[in-house]
Amino acid sequence: MEGDINQKLLTEAEKTEVGEVKLKEKIWTETKKMWVVAGPAIFTRFSTFGVTVISQAFVGHIGATELAAYSLSLTVLLRFGNGVLLGMASALETLCGQAFGAKQYHMLGIYLQRSWIVLFLTACCLLPLYIFTTPILIALGQDEKIAEVAGYIGHWFIFVVFSFIISFTCQMFLQAQSKNMIIAYLAAFSIGIHIFLSWLLTMKFKFGLIGALSSTVLAYWLPNIGQILFVICGGCKDTWKGFSMLAFKDLWPVVKLSLSSGAMLCLELWYNTILVLLTGNLKNAQVAIDALAICLNINGWEMMISLGFLAAASVRVSNELGRGSSKAAKFSIVMTTLTSLSIGFVLFVLFLCLRGRLAYIFTESEQVANAVAHLSPLLACSILLNSVQPVLSGVAVGAGWQSTVAWVNIASYYLIGIPIGVVLGYVLNMEVKGVWIGMLLGTFVQTIVLIIITWKTDWDKQVILAQTRVNKWLVPESREENGNTENSA
């Protein structure tokens, strides 16, 4: 009897041990898969963000007017174009990720070409903004001299905007296959060349704006050339079958998903722009804007980490839904969220401790440093929220919920966040702190709503929806090859 009990206890202990080993293996496997996407994505975003920062630093040595014009063009023009095209391109994350998970590898190349067409047409629609920059800025009340220089810079930014078409789509195409290390290598090479050329052309040869902008354009296009060559020259043999006329077929569903994706992302980007605009109308706006600019700069760098996890969540969820595994999709959401939240919590504590001391990296003004110290708790809270919210947005992209999240963004940001910010900042005279608290409440509401949506989602149903989407737009491989043959002819 005692032997039987001991045997039973031993068996149960062995089962528990096996279960723990399996869980550890599962966590380790998922962590590796997550970092294969997140690591290069974070580095690439840091590098891309660094290109504009480096350009701004060298333009600052040319003259005050040039710096003001470049900063204005960067904030109003480039970030707007970046947001629209990045949002439109995120539809490719959903399509490529789910098709790759479903092992419909040949469809990735067709989706890539369809996305090129959609983004090219979108970029053409944005052209007037860059061609008529000067009259637009003058109409908005900007200084005429600054507006003229900004108009000149805007013409150069046309080349940058068209570079986003290749950059964003190829990144998402490669990320879906977990082949984005090549993107990180190219980004590192590009930023190195950019630093050298910016110094050579602006400081050494004194070419001024032409030198700085030439280097900027080259820094954006160099990685694109490398990515295209990698894709079409054998780096993606299973997923790239050559150019196909089938890319022009079934474009409308891609356009609809792209528009939903664009709306979702732009609503988030414009939210931060409105924060700056509201601050500009407060009393003592100079100190408020300087302090806010420092906080948003730090927040922007940290956001690059969060966007890396957004990419990881999108790829892992779309891959697992396409593969037909709802459990693996849910597990990847938990792992990505916890990892990002852990990093966010460490940074949250760090910025709470440092407070105003961070400001002296950017300014010598004690008044601005004190303002930053007052805003530091809000900056820390923003960083903590940013460690969760982008991951959930990535889950939405992976599952194809872009239109749902766009409505959530409108409600939480524009019906809750901004009105509360205006009341606190202007009516209750809390100034920049009040505006930011309102904006944080909007982000908090959005995060809570996304958590509830993710928690209550029937993931088995999402698997069926993903597979329906993949099968609905599936082109048999034989027809895809015929499309290539016709195109070659």
Q: In the structure, what pLDDT confidence band is assigned to residue 264 with cuts at 50, 70 and 90?
A: confident
- Tens of pLDDT along 99-118? 999 989 989 999 999 999 99
Sign of the dihedral defined by the CA atoms of residues 231, 122, 79, 193, in that order: positive
Contact 299, 380 (CB under 8 A): no
Average of per-residue pLDDT values in the chain: 84
Confidence at residue 276, expressed as pLDDT on a 0 to 100 scale? 58
* pLDDT of residue 489 exceeding 50: no
Q: What is the secondary structure of 202-241 as a DSSP string?
A: IIIS--THHHHHHHHHHHHHHHHHHHHHHIIIIITTTT--
Confidence at residue 488, expressed as pLDDT on a 0 to 100 scale? 42
* pLDDT of residue 209 exceeding 70: yes
Contact 443, 412 (CB under 8 A): yes
Separation in Å, CA 361 to CA 127, 197, 286, 354: 37, 26, 18, 12
Confidence at residue 302, expressed as pLDDT on a 0 to 100 scale? 82
Rg of the chain over Cα atoms, rounded to whole angstroms, equals: 24
Average the pLDDT over each of 122-126, 225-229, 436-440 and give the range with the smallest value. Answer: 436-440
- Tens of pLDDT along 30-63? 999 999 999 999 998 888 888 988 898 898 888 8
Q: In the structure, what pLDDT confidence band is assigned to residue 123 with cuts at 50, 70 and 90?
A: very high
Q: In the structure, what pLDDT confidence band is assigned to residue 333 with cuts at 50, 70 and 90?
A: very high
Query: With 0-12 CB in 10 A as exposed, 13-18 as middle and 19+ as buried, what is 369?
Result: buried
Q: Tell me, what amino acid is at 439?
A: M
How far does the chain reach from its first CA to its final CA, in angstroms? 82
- Tens of pLDDT along 342-396? 999 999 998 888 877 777 766 667 777 787 788 788 888 888 988 898 899 899 9
DSSP 414: I
Q: What percent of the chain has pLDDT over 70?
A: 87
Query: Taking the domains of the chain in order of start, what are their residue ranges?
Result: 30-484
Contact 169, 116 (CB under 8 A): yes
* pLDDT of residue 477 exceeding 90: no
Report how far residue 78's alpha carbon sits from residue 123's, in angstroms, rounded to the nearest whole number: 12
User: Token pair of 365, please?
Assistant: 């003004």
Average the pLDDT over each of 9-18, 74-83, 136-145, 326-335 and give the range with the smallest value. Answer: 9-18
Average the pLDDT over each of 129-143, 156-170, 290-304, 468-482 and give the range with the smallest value. Answer: 468-482
Report how far residue 132's alpha carbon sits from residue 86's, in angstroms, rounded to the nearest whole number: 23
- Tens of pLDDT along 308-318? 999 999 999 99
Tell me the average pLDDT across 69-79: 81
Confidence (pTM): 0.84
Confidence at residue 210, expressed as pLDDT on a 0 to 100 scale? 94
Confidence at residue 18, expressed as pLDDT on a 0 to 100 scale? 45
Q: What is the secondary structure of 62-77 as a DSSP string?
A: T-HHHHHHHHHHIIII
Which of 257-271, 334-348, 379-393 has the highest average model confidence (pLDDT)? 334-348
Confidence at residue 316, expressed as pLDDT on a 0 to 100 scale? 92
Burial call 45-57: b when 16+ CB within 10 Å, e when fewer:
bbbbbbbbebbee
Confidence at residue 78, expressed as pLDDT on a 0 to 100 scale? 86
